[in-house]
Amino acid sequence: MLDLLGRLAYRARRWVITGAAVFLVAAGAWGAGAFDDLAVGGFTYGASESSRADQVERDRLGRHDADVVVLLRSDRWTVDDPAYAEAARRVLDGLPADRIEGVTDYWRSPAPALVSTDRHETFAAVRVAGATENDRLTNYLAVRGSLTSPDLDVRVGGPLALIDDVNTQSKADLTRAEALAMPILFLLLVLIFRNLLAALLPVAVGGLAIVGSLAGLRLLAQFTEISIFAVNVVTLLGLGLAVDYSLFMVSRFREELGAGHPVPAALRRTMATAGRTIVVSAVTVALALASLAVFPQVFLRSIAVGGVAAVLLAGFFAMTVMAAMLALFGTRLRERRRRPVDTDPDSGVWARIARTVMRRPVLVGGAVIVVLVVLGLPFLRISYGWLDTRVLPTSAASREVQDALERSFPDSVTRPIEAIVTLPGPATGSAGQEQLAAYLDRVTALPGVRHADVTGLAGDTARVTVRFDAQPISEQGRELVAAVRGVAPPPSGTVLVKGDAAGFADLMDMLVQRLPWMALLVVVTTFVLLFLSFGSLVLPVKAILMNVLSLTAAFGAVVWIFQDGHLDGLLRFTSTGNIDVVQPILIFAVAFGLSMDYEVFLLSRIREHYDSSGDNTEAVAVGLQRSGRIITSAALLLVVVIASFATASVLVVKIVGVGLALAVVVDATIVRALLMPATMRLLGRLNWWVPGPLRPVYRRWGIRPESGHRDAEQMPV
């Protein structure tokens, strides 16, 4: 199949390149509007108790939560001055009625919690109209410009403002990351290839991958909900893997040209070897990302769907457009400074490293394992958190408002737990009032509850608001949610608990339930794919264990940097004291797949030499020599892409960027250069062991090199 693809790429090279140019223009025009069609939010899921409580509240009591917080301040007046009230009303009463459901302010509801300690500031809670979060965001964007005053300092915050700020900053981060990564990638490729034309090809394929990824996300958004937060991760994967795969193709093609093969044969041999590696790698990475689909959140499912599309696009472009460009430019891609004729290509620095390690495999392997475990120790004390305004830079408007609320409105900061109580009869009747009073007594008696009262009544439903002092996104907040949910409901009644603390508790429970299934899916699919690729039961197990070690080290570094706040000045972030609970899951899925990318490439070269020599030790040394420079170069290029996203101002993107960069660096250096040859030497021929009953399976279904590539130069193209 790959041999046939190589023939077609050579024959239709100009048509393929022309088609790629047309695709670039069309997909670029279509993908430019991706941000307009993608969904905001996507962090909750409908089956959770907190989401069901939200739905019951909307249906029976009306929406209660504030979508927007309008912070008003005057240095001249206090809120008690008529001039202050008149200026504030001009701002708030001017909001269009068709886009706003309601406004709560100090003059409509004179609650002390709405006024700052110096009485020069107040805030209004605005409920925006709209059936969905996207509808409410649209309405908010339509009225945002009217929230100004010549007499007052007006700032806007709250959930919708936070989403808008994150979206705006993410777009800016994406543009900056691409502008930063592309020139550096090109310069590094020039140094790697020592050929200007060869350096341009991976960058061109990377550009196709970026455009294709954005266009793919917008296309998918026409059929299913895709979160806007997936854009940065999907673009990162598309660009990084496209450059990596292109590097594999160009390097192998030049190697075949250097061995004296004509262009058609060199291309077919490249497709049969490097092309096979790319196919296996792309499928492995795609399966790792697809595991995110086990979670019901739109955010994670979007990264699963978009990530799989980006990886497959990167592989597709590398196998078609890159192959066509190799065929078109041919010998012009040769390295300008050739290796001396008398130099043994299998006796370079990487081979010497491998042979040195294999002389003391226990010492080197043990030392590497100890280092990785020590680096991973901080992960044992990880504290999980969730999205808040601190993911934004301090200059963001929504963060400024939240900081002001925490500073000047201490009684209004902690969002309460809310219990939506459904009674067997009218909530306003005497029996209903008695049942509610008894329920309030039971809730108020819970440790940690400051006070609880009824804040809404309609029909047979009541809203009970529970105030507490702990942070909602904390272990104490989750424990209090569990305690409130454990309180007996009124006789024949039901209680659904909502609020920030309840939503976080539901999220954690869901992740605990689904995470083992995700891990099982990743491990099983990776094991099967590596077995079919290399015909061994030992190599997949070893590869998975080494991946776990390198990921553990990366997770430990993430906790040390972001949770503990080290390097906050260098990386320019504010530590929240915890790690967003989704980030380790996301890093695991992406990094696991990327690590297998290098595993497959290295093992392919080792297996190729082992099949011809039968010498395991020599195969490891030669395989590392022939792939070590390419793996290191590919990792360097990928780290450049990832590190460009680590410059993001949005903290969740920065954490993913730094975490993935660390995982790739650890995996491509000490794991591949030291731990891999040490374990391969210790296992010896056992590396290639497969039980008898499975040998027919490998012969029938194995993803083996095509035999035709060995004498491709003798066959017509």
pTM for the structure as a whole: 0.84
**Whole-number percent of the chain with pLDDT over 90:** 29
Nearest to 622 by CA among 604, 635, 634, 605: 605
**Whole-number percent of the chain with pLDDT over 70:** 95
Beta-carbon contacts of residue 541 (< 8 Å; ≥ 6 apart)? 527
The tens digit of pLDDT for each residue in 159-191 reads 888 888 888 888 888 888 888 888 888 898 888
Contact status, residue 483 vs residue 553, Cβ threshold 8 Å: no
Q: Find tokens 């044992």 and name the residue.
A: 380
Question: Taking 60 as the threshold, does the pLDDT of residue 711 lie above it?
Answer: no
Q: Find tokens 């009073």 and name the residue.
A: 437
Q: Residue 234's pLDDT band (boundaries 50, 70, 90)?
A: confident
Q: Measured between alpha carbons, how far is 200 from 273 in angstroms, rounded to an integer?
A: 22
Question: Taking 90 as the threshold, does the pLDDT of residue 73 lie above it?
Answer: yes
The two beta strands, 384-385 and 579-580, are parallel
Joined tokens for residue 701: 């279904």
Instruction: Give the C-alpha distances (Å, rounded to integers) separating 359 from 438, 613, 642.
Output: 76, 20, 35
Q: Measured between alpha carbons, how far is 655 from 705 in angstroms, rounded to an integer?
A: 39
pLDDT at 556: 95
pLDDT at 228: 78
Q: Taking every pair of C-alpha atoms in the chain, what is the biggest distance, in angstroms?
A: 100
Among 142-156, 325-339, 594-608, whose mean pLDDT is lowest? Answer: 325-339
pLDDT at 713: 38
pLDDT at 411: 62
- CA 143, distance to chain mean position in Å, is 32
Q: What is the mean pLDDT of residues 43-71?
A: 85
Q: Do 67-157 and 1-32+194-338 have the same topology in CATH?
A: no
Joined tokens for residue 7: 């023939």
* 3-class secondary structure, 153: strand
Q: What is the mean pLDDT of residues 555-573?
A: 90
pLDDT at 710: 46
pLDDT at 708: 43
More confident residue, 325 or 626: 325
Q: Residue 412's pLDDT band (boundaries 50, 70, 90)?
A: low
Question: Can you spell out the DSSP letters for 374-416?
Answer: HHHGGGGG--EE---GGGS-TTSHHHHHHHHHHHH-TTTSSPP
Q: Which H/E stretch holds residue 677?
A: helix 676-683
For residue 11, report the phi and psi dihedrals to the nearest 5 degrees: -70, -40
Q: Which class is 67-157 in CATH? A: alpha beta
The tens digit of pLDDT for each residue in 266-293 reads 999 899 888 888 888 888 889 989 999 9
Question: Taking 70 as the threshold, does the pLDDT of residue 341 lie above it?
Answer: no
Q: Residue 153's pLDDT band (boundaries 50, 70, 90)?
A: very high
pLDDT at 25: 92
Surface-to-core class of residue 278, CB atoms within 10 Å of its CB (0-12 exposed, 13-18 middle, 19+ buried):
buried
Among 344-348, 390-394, 422-426, whose mean pLDDT is lowest? Answer: 344-348
For residue 456, report the phi and psi dihedrals to the nearest 5 degrees: -170, 140
Joined tokens for residue 694: 């499975």
pLDDT at 275: 86
Question: Taking 80 as the threshold, does the pLDDT of residue 488 lie above it?
Answer: yes
Q: Is 3.30.70.1430 the CATH number for 416-498?
A: yes
The tens digit of pLDDT for each residue in 578-593 reads 898 888 998 998 888 8
pLDDT at 23: 92
Question: Taking 80 as the threshold, does the pLDDT of residue 210 lie above it?
Answer: yes
Describe the crossing of helices 298-329 and 582-613 by its angle, rounded to 10 degrees: 40
Question: Could you tell me the fold of the domain covering 1-32+194-338?
Answer: Multidrug efflux transporter AcrB transmembrane fold (1.20.1640)
pLDDT at 361: 93
Buried b (16+ CB within 10 A) or exposed e, 640-678: bbbbbbbbbbbbbbbbbbbbbbbbbbbbbebbbbbbbbb
Domain boundaries, given as residue ranges, for the chain: 1-32+194-338, 67-157, 416-498
Question: Taking 50 as the threshold, does the pLDDT of residue 716 lie above it?
Answer: no
What residue ranges in 13-107 does DSSP mark as E strands? Answer: 68-73, 100-104
Query: What length does the chain have?
Result: 717
Mean pLDDT across the chain: 86
